[in-house]
């Protein structure tokens, strides 16, 4: 099938727009893939000739090909933002987002996180073991995103204040904190790696810092070693931090600030998780 070349040019301009707005590499990669599929679906038809029927047909097509509800919503967001950027008004007439599934965040218990840490300690290479243990601890005790983790520099760490300066979505700067256990591992790791100044905390083999995909693979491998059957990701460790902090009485607005959520509504989902956990704990006291 032939593809409209001008549509491809518009896609490249839109990707440049995302890069210029400092969107995360993960977002850029996802949007480029989705919009590329949409353009191929249109064939020779220009995006300016496309209608909301074409958008609906595309969404129906990806749904039939196995996309889940959550993924379908992401597809709709990517396509809509692209069409808005290029000014394809005809395709946006009557546009409606598909229903967004309401899911409670998945999380690990404190005990399960300890199993991940233990799995890291059993690595044959001691430096790799220390690095992996630190990765788990930082994701869990700070609640930072994986994209924020890989961009930490030594200069961003304050051992006296037990805090790290990180740059979140849209390069928004914020401060997160770490506990004593993380501090000890962090100091030991930096010393063993001989890192200083503007060195990245987690240098890559062929790049300045490791890629977020590398971290995802590390967490998946540790989860398998720890005997988990469920899927474990860096983002689940972020959810685990928020759930644990809420269960220990931390204010939801404080958690919002630490997570870097623009809206309190995003953070309030953890109150539902906390209630669900509360019910389980309540039922347990009545068990014989």
Active-site positions read: 145, 169, 235, 238, 261, 270
Cα dist. 277→33, 142, 247, 286 in Å?
38, 21, 9, 15
Q: What is the DSSP letter of 97?
A: P
Give the containing element (helix H, strand E) for 192. helix 180-193
Q: 159 and 138 in contact (C-beta within 8 Å)? A: no
Token pair in block for residue 8: 């491809």
Token pair in block for residue 223: 């989860």
Q: Which long-range contacts (CB under 8 A, 24 or more apart) does 86-93 make?
A: 86/10, 86/13, 86/14, 86/47, 86/48, 88/47, 88/48, 88/50, 90/48, 90/49, 90/50, 90/51, 91/47, 91/50, 91/51, 91/52, 91/54, 91/55, 92/52, 93/51, 93/52
197 vs 153: CA distance, rounded Å:
7
């Amino acid at each position: 099938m032939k593809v409209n070349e001008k549509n491809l040019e518009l896609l490249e301009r839109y990707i440049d727009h995302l890069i210029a707005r400092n969107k995360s590499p993960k977002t850029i990669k996802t949007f480029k893939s989705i919009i590329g599929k949409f353009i191929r679906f249109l064939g020779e038809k220009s995006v300016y000739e496309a209608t909301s029927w074409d958008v609906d047909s595309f969404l129906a097509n990806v749904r039939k090909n196995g996309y889940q509800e959550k993924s379908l919503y992401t597809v709709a967001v990517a396509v809509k933002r692209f069409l808005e950027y290029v000014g394809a008004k005809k395709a946006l007439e009557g546009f409606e987002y598909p229903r967004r599934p309401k899911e409670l965040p998945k999380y690990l218990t404190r005990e399960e996180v300890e199993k991940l840490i233990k799995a890291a300690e059993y690595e044959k290479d001691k430096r790799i073991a220390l690095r992996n243990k630190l990765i788990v601890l930082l994701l869990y005790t700070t609640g930072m995103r994986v994209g924020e983790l890989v961009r930490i520099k030594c200069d961003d760490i304050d051992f006296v204040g037990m805090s790290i300066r990180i740059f979140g979505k849209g390069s928004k700067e914020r401060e997160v904190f770490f506990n004593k256990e993380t501090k000890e591992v962090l100091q030991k790791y930096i010393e063993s790696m001989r890192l200083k100044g503007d060195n990245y905390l987690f240098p890559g083999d062929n790049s300045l810092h490791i890629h977020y995909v590398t971290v995802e693979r590390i967490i998946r491998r540790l989860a398998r070693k720890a005997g988990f059957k469920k899927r474990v990701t860096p983002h689940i460790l972020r959810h685990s931090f928020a759930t644990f902090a809420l269960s220990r009485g931390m204010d939801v607005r404080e958690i919002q600030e630490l997570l870097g959520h623009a809206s309190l509504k995003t953070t309030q989902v953890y109150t539902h998780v906390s209630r669900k956990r509360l019910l389980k704990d309540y039922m347990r006291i009545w068990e014989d």
